[in-house]
Homo-oligomer: A and B are copies of this chain.
Amino acid sequence: MTATRSTRQRDVIAQVLGRATGPLAVPEILGLAQSDLPGLGIATVYRTLKLLTEQGQIHPVTLDGETRYEAAGKGHHHHFSCTRCGRVFTLHTCPVTLPSGTVYPGGFVVEAHEVTLYGQCPECAAN
């Protein structure tokens, strides 16, 4: 079996994602992690993201052509993408009710859904 070690790099990357208010893109993760661990290389970030994803600790989210990552285990939620500042936030409310098994016109059997809202985040809306 595979022995997975605990390293400062992995801890820092996991912490960065744990503290985030929404899914982060790779450059954001690198930047934030480097402020805690200056020498960190991009290859390690990619390798760690892949590892954490396989372990189910984080989850990839694709939004506007960019792959972002967020900590797992935060329950059912969706995302809000600010059209002004470009940041992405996690929303804990869900605007749809689609029980697994719902059948859509045409015979599409729904197993899951994903919603993204676009608009202005509180900060941008205030300015």
Contact = CB atoms under 8 A, between A and B. Distances in A.
B125 A104 contact: no
A65 B59 CA distance: 12
Interface in A55-71: 60, 62-67
Given A89-B108, A108-B122, 13 more contacts: A62-B62, A62-B65, A65-B67, A80-B104, A83-B111, A91-B104, A92-B105, A96-B96, A96-B115, A107-B122, A107-B126, A110-B118, A115-B115
A85 interface: no
A60 to B, nearest CB: 7
Identical copies in the complex: 2
Contact of A93 (B105, B116, B126): B105
